Copies of this chain bind each other. A is one copy, B any other.
Amino acid sequence: MDIRSGMKNKRPTLQDVADLVGVTKMTVSRYLRNPDQVSPPLQIKIAEALEDLGYIPNRAPDILSKSKSHAIGVLVPSLTNQVFAEVIRGIESILEPAGYQTMLAHYGYSKEAEEARIAALLSYNVDGLIISESYHTERVRKMLSVAGIPVIEIMDSISPPIEQAIGIDNQAAAYAMTECMIQKGHQKIVYFAARMDQRTLQRIRGYKAAIHDSGLQEMCLSTDSASSFTLGEQFMKEALAKQPDTDGIFCTNDDLAIGALYACQKAGINVPKDIGIAGFHGHNIARVMVPLLATVITPREEMGRLAAEHLLSRLQGNPVTQRIINLPFQIEMGESI
């Protein structure tokens, strides 16, 4: 049926369409950009040929000649973490309507992998990058500077940003929540930490500062592995074993907190009367569970949106207006502290 059935059928090019109509590919190209540039009879013929062959535009030549891919690289440490899924959602909600394609990559919290992933994204000539965290190797900084494309860093803003960073002040947030717990009367507050990345380290710093400012005693349970509900349960048991009079748990994320909460329920420990529990990130579930989880509500989707908006602005030639943007967090008291 198909004339080209013998050959390895590559998808049709503008030339194929042009041949079918009997014009040059330039004419077809013009039709595609602005149909009124070609004569009415040709408009019809070209439209038919395009439909007939199922022509799909090809960005490759454009990327090659103009180095404009209309693709944005998005690099996150992990896809596992719901937090990043929400950030990505925010990013896409802005980029997609603006006609940009998202190239997603993740690096599993490894700086080595981060380098490789950034190089990979750059090799596709992405027009801009949204990357996570603010600490990067010299090599990464060089690559990004050489690439000459706008870069937005999200999630935190600990190191001076390459160009622009949009995040939240994890330390201040953790300090604020710890203070709340203390005010609620909790004295022996243990911090549960997993996945010791920059953000968690900042939160620990905030927690410790608040504990010390109140003259209390700090205690951290931590692991490098990923957090999970079950890890929260394990930590809870561990905390009670090490310090039986523990009366507060502040977790580096809601997963741990929810795990800890259920561990208490299973052990017949009343939350918040016996032990207060607070999380971090304000997952939806925290707003419905019984008891309502105290948590730090972070604007993750908003962060993604903002990052994408600023990137688009940069792509339109606007300069960086604000190097560091710290988005507001919100302490949700819930019923668990």
Contact status of A67 and B10, CB under 8 A, knowing A53-B146, A59-B124, A92-B106: yes
Q: Does A89 contact B (CB under 8 A)?
A: yes
Q: Are B64 and A60 in contact (CB under 8 A)?
A: yes
Bound-state CA distance A290–B288 (Å) is 14
Bound-state CA distance A58–B60 (Å) is 12
A36-44, A115-123, A212-220: which one contacts chain B?
A: A115-123
Q: Are B103 and A103 in contact (CB under 8 A)?
A: yes
A288 contact from B80, B96, B262, Cβ within 8 A = B262
Q: Are B71 and A124 in contact (CB under 8 A)?
A: yes
Tally of chain A residues near chain B (CB < 8 A): 62
Cβ contacts A102-136/B at 8 Å (1 or 0 each): 11111000000000000111111100000000000
Q: Does A233 contact B (CB under 8 A)?
A: yes
Which residues of chain B come closer than 8 Å to A103, judged between CB atoms? Answer: 71, 101-104
Report 26 cross-chain contacts, Cβ distance below 8 Å, ordered by A residue: A9-B148, A10-B67, A10-B148, A12-B146, A54-B146, A56-B119, A56-B146, A57-B123, A60-B63, A60-B125, A63-B64, A64-B64, A69-B124, A80-B89, A82-B85, A85-B85, A101-B103, A102-B103, A102-B104, A103-B104, A228-B284, A229-B287, A230-B284, A230-B287, A262-B290, A266-B290
